[in-house]
Chain A
Amino acid sequence: MLTEHAKIVKAFAAAGEIVGRKKLQKMIYIAKKLNFPFYEKFDFHFYGPYSEELTWRIEELCNLGFLNEVKEKKGGYFQYRYTLTEAGADFLKHYDIHMPHLTECLQDMNEQNSRFLELVSTILYFDNFSKDAVKEKVFLVKSKQRYTEEEIEQAYRYIEQLRHKTEAPV
């Protein structure tokens, strides 16, 4: 019971502070595509894969005091920072969640910027397409972001790098 909540709490325990809801969404989506057992459902939105279920879960965890949310004004928008609280760490003690390599992967993603993670998650969303078809799709559906060929190549290399991390012996 509440195992899916516990997995998200575990993600924060692994990643440390996460700045930005967009970044958080993309990190969990990428982790899911790397076969980490997150079951939140993602749809494609204007800014790439997005999960309403994850948004709710984060709000529940904040309301329960397991995550701390800080809202900061940034330009014309607000930005949100999330950290695990002591109560969250206590909640996690009730579960035995084993996700090898989650920490390395999430910490690595946390060091990337959200624009790049948006590109990585979009590429993964279309992973049933050929590489050329993916590029074409990215240029079409992400035309405003003006991603370059080089960025797309870099994103592919990054995905391989993450996959390599998940395959390392435990």
Chain B
Amino acid sequence: MSYPGGQLSEEKVFKDPVHRYIHVRDKIIWDLIGTKEFQRLRRIKQLGTTYLTFHGAEHSRFNHSLGVYEIIRRIIDDVFVGREHWDHSERLLCLCAALLHDLGHGPFSHSFEKVFHLDHEDFTQAIILGDTEVHAVLKRMGDDFPQKVAEVIAKTYQNKLVVSLISSQIDADRMDYLLRDAYYTGVSYGNFDMERILRVMRPREDQVVIKRSGMHAVEDYIMSRYQMYWQVYFHPVTRSAEVILTKILHRAKTLHEEGYMFRTHPHHFYSLFTGQVMLHDYLKLDEAVILYYFQQWQDEKDEILRDLCRRFVHRRLFKYVEFSPTNEQMKKLMELTALFKKAGIDPDYYLVVDSSSDLPYDFYRPGEEGERLPIYLLMPNGEFRELSRESVLVDAISGKRRTDHKLYFPDDFLQDFSTKRTTKKKILEILEG
């Protein structure tokens, strides 16, 4: 199987702040990058609302996708080529899957997926297999090639080694986003020696394993995953923005269902509201479109939608307190819900519990047999050993998990004593504990 045009006569390079250069030699990769579905990823931020906390986090899914491709290219061309267990005829399949693995992400996809019960992975499949420019490029390799790329990304492809390069507990996707997100947010936690990890990766029948001598580099990578979650991905201010964004979507959907007449009609949202999202509609969505509506809805008649959009656009976020849903705290939550209603503040939109499981992130866990595949070290005697059994550090952080729950609310509403003063004072007393 080969692609018409094969390799480019001259290598193309993209400057990249994380990998320095991204090298493209294969024409299929160059053609895929030029498709409109891939170019759309430029208009979707990698970290959604995180830019409201870390102002540098404006990088897109386009950057990240190129980064994952580059890591896979280095693994295959510099480390795996010629080694036992590696089938080099899978090279282009791996590169295409790496480049396209996030193709179906939409704007602020985490909130959109929650509210409208969508899955970006379904859209990745639909773009690769549907009537799209990406599909047309992939098909030039052969009629079954788009299906194979889709299966690698869906993790259902028969060659598990290929799947594990793109998606496993130590894969190109995670390595790129940790380094990239750390770079753009400006934090120092995400750094680890990726070059070292790549050099000690070895292909085996079903997965990639790591030479024992590279264990310390992997420890750094595991620590980076842990730190980035708590310091960046689950940052409480980012979560506040996410809570507001989610509530805007809920409000707009509810208003539509109630027959409310929008001043700015949500044309781009109709298929989302009715649950009949066609690929054609989905591909029109990007962050510019969504933010346009949020700008416009600041002037809606509906007070809740108007207020939530103003909060999001002007970064007037909710405050938060720690919340542990014990029996006593649950009673307080019910009391707060009643008091919010009494104060004229709708608790469905303005009193929100957010949990760490609302943003699940796969920390390394050795798990139990058959739960999920762990990271294996390749010992000098040729045996495999699960990482946490060799590393005291990984064993320590993969033990009992830290979890977190917060209660979000609009402090400015509660501090406005011009109305319902007594009720608001009572609410603040409870919240301040």
Contact = CB atoms under 8 A, between A and B. Distances in A.
A141 to B, nearest CB: 6
Interface of A: 1-2, 4-5, 20-22, 25, 39, 41, 43-47, 50-53, 55-57, 59-60, 63-65, 74-80, 87, 90-91, 94, 114, 118, 126, 137, 140-141, 143-144
Interface string B128-169: 000000000000000000000000001110101000000000
Contacts of A140: 158
A64 B325 contact: yes
B357 interface: yes
Contact of B158 (A52, A56, A76, A141): A141
A25 B254 CA distance: 33
Contact-residue bracket for chain B? 35 or more
Contact of B368 (A43, A79, A141): A79
B231 to A, nearest CB: 18
Contacts of A141: 156, 158
Contact of A2 (B327, B353, B366, B372): B353
B361 interface: yes
Given A1-B333, A1-B352, A64 B368 contact: no
Contacts of A143: 158
Contacts of A47: 370-373
Contacts of B403: 56, 59-60, 63-64
Given A39-B117, A41-B119, A50 B371 contact: yes
B360 A52 contact: yes
A53 B158 contact: no
Interface in B29-88: none
Given A5-B325, A91-B325, A137-B156, A60 B360 contact: no
Given A21-B368, A63-B401, A78-B366, 14 more contacts: A2-B355, A5-B357, A21-B367, A41-B113, A46-B207, A50-B371, A56-B357, A57-B355, A59-B357, A63-B400, A74-B368, A75-B369, A91-B330, A126-B156
A47 to B, nearest CB: 5
B121 interface: yes
A1 B353 contact: yes
Nearest to A140: B158
Contacts of B373: 45-47
Interface in B385-426: 400-403, 405
B360 A53 contact: yes
Contacts of A114: 370
B368 A77 contact: yes
A80 B121 CA distance: 30
B368 A20 contact: yes
A87 B328 CA distance: 11
Contacts of B365: 55
Contacts of B372: 45-47, 50
B405 A22 contact: no
A60 B356 contact: yes
A91 B326 CA distance: 7
B327 A87 contact: yes
B327 A60 contact: no
B155 A43 contact: yes
A155 B365 CA distance: 30
